[in-house]
Amino acid sequence: MAPALMRLALALAVAVVGCCAARQPGGRVDLWPMPASVSRGARTLYVARDLKLSTAGSGYKDGKAILADAFRRMVAVIQLDHAINGSYHGLPVLAGVNVAVRSPDDELKFGVDESYKLTVPATGSPLYARIEAQTVFGAFHALETFSQLCYFDFVLSVTGLHWAPWTIVDKPRFPYRGLLIDTARHYLPVPVIKSVIDSMVYSKLNVLHWHIVDEQSFPLEIPSYPKLSNGAYSYSEKYTINDAIDIVQYAEKRGVNVLAEIDVPGHAGSWGVGYPSLWPSATCQQPLDVSNDFTFKVIDGILSDFSKVFKFKFVHLGGDEVDTSCWTTTPRIKSWLVQHGMNESDAYRYFVLKAQKIAISHGYEIINWEETFNNFGDKLDRKTVVHNWLGGGVAEKVVSAGLRCIVSNQDKWYLDHLDATWEGFYMNEPLTNIYNPEQQKLILGGEVCMWGEHIDASDIQQTIWPRAAAAAERLWTPVEKLAKDTTAVTARLAHFRCLLNERGVAAAPLAGYGRTAPSEPGSCVRQ
């Protein structure tokens, strides 16, 4: 066995003991991601079968019932389909949860206050946990944390909660904590996308980056240009615009923004299936034709339709891996370049900046992959967020230039790299070599990327989890509370991975690489 795997096996062996200890007062705090501040006592409570939601003292009226729905989901999660049929006679019973939200607003905006305070008393009659939050979205996070305090007591057949009283004060380290899914390389049915959103909530990720289209497939119906979806793999592997609305609304009700991406001008060969004039030629199909006004009319139509569906303040316009050779080998485009005094690099910049202006006209701020910054960073609109993916050193250059940045460096945070271990995901620090506090604020956060070449509905969840959770703690937990050695968190992450399995999320074992399988019979936490 390799030394690294031997260390992991030892840590997971310890996790088995730790898991048992976690069921008793004095054991480890098994919360993921770790909150900013935690204190606890030593008393065991039992959670009422009909746990009640109270909103006494709240300024939030819950007109859309999203808090009530979140509470019902939380109760279902802690009961885990067990028969809660034991007797509560003589037991200290937690009767309910009082949720006091200060703000009446429930519009999910970027940078919304996600902080909360959760207290669980040890005495009182009736006993109520209390959640205080500025917004309903902070309350959602508190409910998730509360759910992780609970467990099923197999002796009493009721739900238990150890170590009361609890006081947990918490808020995220970064406002942007993302997960990319790719529906162009393989189609992901709507229920699968929703299941991914549900699983994001468990580790407090808050942005679903939907890489909708690429050169292989254009699966989304666009009302302004309906033939674009002719580029889908098949008649059934498509999303209607109402599907997109449904996904966005589903995510928002769980505190997750949906970031839509159309990658231009490269990665766009599928666009020309329905509109061949978008291709430079029938034999040289991408990047999109920079010389054709129709190209930009189509982009304008897409973004106009997007603005009615995707309410997140950002739109992702791609801009990566652009091979401009089709522009110079197609005579009419080459002639256009000469006429406008442009070379290939000029045309690439012209295309990206024109697409940015279109997006801004529809009320968006823009995210572009880092190649745009690397090639003409000083020309980018100041509303641009640069998405780092190629490697280290870029983020510090971006913030030094005064632009915002999202970190997804592929050597650490690409989930399709199956040799990228959870330890690498955990230790990847977005603020590496960025020491100026004002520049640190320009790092919005980070994103793990589940590119779809080798995943579909059959294996997406076990490829995402638990490695994405390792990054989620890096993005949520205060830096001073993050482990400097991953062996310190192995047992806790193993417990969380088992919790995901219990909740129906097909999270893979920790022992091994991405999307690994259990090696032998044994306990979940040993894997």
pLDDT digits (tens, 9 = 90+) for 234-279: 999 999 999 999 999 999 999 999 999 999 999 999 999 999 999 9
Residue 264 and residue 320 share a domain: yes
pLDDT tens-digit readout, 65-98: 999 999 999 999 999 889 999 999 999 999 999 9
Higher pLDDT, 197 or 514: 197
DSSP strand pairing (127-133 vs 166-170): unpaired
Backbone torsion region of residue 268, taken as left when φ is above 0, otherwise alpha when ψ lies between -120 and 50, otherwise beta? alpha
Residue 269 and residue 218 share a domain: yes
Residue 152 and residue 31 share a domain: yes
Q: Report the pLDDT averaged over residues 121-135.
A: 97
Higher pLDDT, 520 or 169: 169
CATH of the domain at 141: 3.30.379.10
Q: Report the pLDDT averaged over residues 109-120.
A: 98
d(CA 258, CA 64): 19
Q: Is residue 453 annotated as a catalytic residue, yes or no?
A: no
* H or E, element range at 333: helix 331-339
**Which pLDDT does position 522 carry in this prediction?**
85
Residue 51 counted as domain residue = yes
Please report where in the chains the tokens 């256009």 appear, as a residue. Answer: 336
d(CA 382, CA 373): 11
Contact present, 386 and 404 (Cβ < 8 Å):
yes
pLDDT tens-digit readout, 336-349: 999 999 999 999 99
> How far, rounded to the nearest angstrom, does the alpha carbon of residue 257 sit from its chain's CA centroid?
9
Confidence of residue 521 (pLDDT cuts 50, 70, 90): confident
Indicate the number of domains in the chain.
2
Of 13-27, 369-383, 394-408, 458-472, the one with minimum mean pLDDT is: 13-27
Residue 501 counted as domain residue = no
Residue 156 counted as domain residue = yes
Amino acid identity at 240: T
Residue 181 and residue 157 share a domain: no
Range of the domain at 294: 176-480
Confidence of residue 14 (pLDDT cuts 50, 70, 90): very low
389 φ, ψ (degrees, to nearest 5): -140, -20
Q: Tell me which residue of 492, 491, 333 sits closest to 11, measured CA to CA.
A: 491
Confidence of residue 6 (pLDDT cuts 50, 70, 90): very low
**Which pLDDT does position 26 carry in this prediction?**
46
Distance linking the first and last C-alpha atoms of the chain: 15
3-class SS string, 432-447: CCCCCHHHHCCEEEEE
- In this predicted structure, the answer to whether residue 328 has a pLDDT above a threshold of 70 is yes
Residue 311 and residue 189 share a domain: yes
Residue 492 counted as domain residue = no
Average pLDDT, the chain: 94
Residue 181 and residue 160 share a domain: no
**Of 128, 153, 170, which residue is a domain's last?**
170
Residue 214 and residue 307 share a domain: yes
d(CA 128, CA 56): 12
Residue 525 gets which letter from DSSP?
G
Structure tokens at 31: 């919360």
Residue 487 counted as domain residue = no
**Which pLDDT does position 513 carry in this prediction?**
87
Please report where in the chains the tokens 């968006």 appear, as a residue. Answer: 364
Q: Which of 107, 132, 215, 321 is catalytic?
A: 321
Of 163-177, 236-250, 382-396, 511-525, the one with minimum mean pLDDT is: 511-525
**Which pLDDT does position 516 carry in this prediction?**
86
Q: Report the pLDDT averaged over residues 161-167.
A: 97
Q: Report the pLDDT averaged over residues 454-477.
A: 97
Residue 319 and residue 467 share a domain: yes
Residue 524 counted as domain residue = no
Residue 164 and residue 250 share a domain: no
Contact present, 213 and 243 (Cβ < 8 Å):
no
Structure tokens at 323: 């091979």
**Which pLDDT does position 16 carry in this prediction?**
45
Burial class (CB in 10 A: 0-12, 13-18, 19+), 147: middle
Residue 2 counted as domain residue = no
Q: Name the pTM for this structure.
A: 0.94
Residue 130 and residue 180 share a domain: no
**Of 122, 140, 170, which residue is a domain's last?**
170
Residue 91 counted as domain residue = yes
Residue 143 and residue 241 share a domain: no
CATH of the domain at 461: 3.20.20.80
**Of 170, 195, 217, which residue is a domain's last?**
170
Residues of the chain with pLDDT > 90: what percent? 91
Structure tokens at 395: 């983020």
Residue 290 and residue 143 share a domain: no
DSSP strand pairing (158-164 vs 43-54): antiparallel
Confidence of residue 28 (pLDDT cuts 50, 70, 90): confident
